[in-house]
Structure 1
Amino acid sequence: MEEGIIFSEKQRFRQWWLWLILFVLNGVFLNGAFKQIFEGKQFGDQPMSNTALLISVFVLLLITFLFVILRLETRINNNGVYVRFYPFHLSFRYFPWESINLAKVRKYSPIMEFGGWGIRFGLITKGRALNVSGNQGLQLEFNNYQKLLIGTHKPEELKQALHILGKDQE
């Protein structure tokens, strides 16, 4: 797969508001757990048990760690398109050019078409999406009429790669 890569991109969740929410929630819960467990002061008007509080802190830290390691990787070469949404896809998903009817870069509405970002399933006609932010993506339509949209922060480079491969259909 590494041979002849024409386009490569790694994306992460970088929305400032997402990190602010996670930072505030972690701060509140860690502070509350410290006060309740080590100082003996109740956290809130109706405090959780120490066990439930520790489990909440652990789950929140786990979610934060997941967002830290999440990444969408896309590679394109003469053979086809390779994509993975780590850590959900440990290896790349390979889509050979022979199985792709249409490959084009397009603007889309993440909320309206797919309900947000991540590994998304849109309406029946929209297909699936893999995205982390933004509103630009590589739309793939397969021979079996299924669709996959892969988000990108490099739409112009992606268009150029498709042009080099002779796959641009604009």
Structure 2
Amino acid sequence: MADQRILIYKEQQRFKQFWLWIILLLAAGIFWAGFIYQVLLGGKFGNNPTSDVQLTILFALMGIALPYFFYRMKLVIEVQPGELRVRLWPFHMQPVTIPLHLVRSFESITYNPIRDYGGWGIRWGFKGKAYNMSGNKGVLLFFYNKKPLLIGSQNPRELFEAIKLAKDLKPDL
């Protein structure tokens, strides 16, 4: 039988930082230019050009695969009765499940991603672990026996309310 769990809240996030996409696309553009100039047009790209085979491999990895990887990366947050699920694709094949009975308290916060956690993604900092993709708002979970966990959100108020509701409900089994 299919898993018919009650979904209280769901959010999907992607990298939206303009500066990140500028850097990625500029780097990819260099490899595109090199590939077109050297492999397709027969010139020599740079002072000490690499072979066409090596440049083609670099082009495939840095000019196509890296931007595609960042484009496809996404953070999915789901709140279900008694649990919170977080999945940062492609790093998690299955969601990380956080049983809400282990959460002592939680609060909606505004934070500094760089200073507090060292950036975006799956991050570890002095303040604990964070799952975030963009922005500077989220819900901070405090546990009974481990460091806090930040879940970055574009809708922190709704996530907070969903966690509050789900904490009081029994998980579906």
Q: Which amino acid aligns with 2:148?
A: K
Q: CA deviation at 1:129?
A: 0.8
Selected match of 1:107 from 62, 85, 110: 110
> Distance in 1 between the 2:24 and 2:4 partners?
35
Q: Which amino acid aligns with 2:112?
A: S
> Distance in 1 between the 2:40 and 2:160 partners?
57
Identity percentage of aligned residues: 36
> Distance in 2 between the 1:105 and 1:164 partners?
14
List alignment gaps of at least 5 residues for structure 1. Answer: none
1:100-149 CA-partner distances (Å, limit 9, x unpaired): 112222111100011111111112xx111111110011211222122211
Q: Which amino acid aligns with 1:98?
A: H
Aligned length: 165
Match of 1:81 in 2: 84
1:40-95 CA-partner distances (Å, limit 9, x unpaired): 21112332332332232122122112111111011112211111111100111111
Pair 1:103–1:9, CA change in 2 (3 A): same
Q: CA deviation at 1:24?
A: 2.4
Pair 1:140–1:163, CA change in 2 (3 A): closer
Q: Which amino acid aligns with 1:66?
A: F
> Distance in 2 between the 1:166 and 1:27 partners?
48
TM-score by length of 2: 0.86
TM-score by length of 1: 0.87
Match of 1:7 in 2: 9
Match of 2:131 in 1: 130
Match of 1:68 in 2: 71
Match of 1:98 in 2: 101
Match of 2:156 in 1: 155
Give yes or no for the alignment of 1:42 onto 2:29: no
Q: CA deviation at 1:2?
A: 5.5
Q: 2:107 aligns to what SS in structure 1?
A: strand
List alignment gaps of at least 5 residues for structure 2. Answer: 169-173
Pair 1:2–1:103, CA change in 2 (3 A): farther
> Distance in 2 between the 1:148 and 1:2 partners?
27
Selected match of 2:32 from 14, 17, 30: 30
Give yes or no for the alignment of 1:51 onto 2:53: yes
Q: CA deviation at 1:166?
A: 6.4
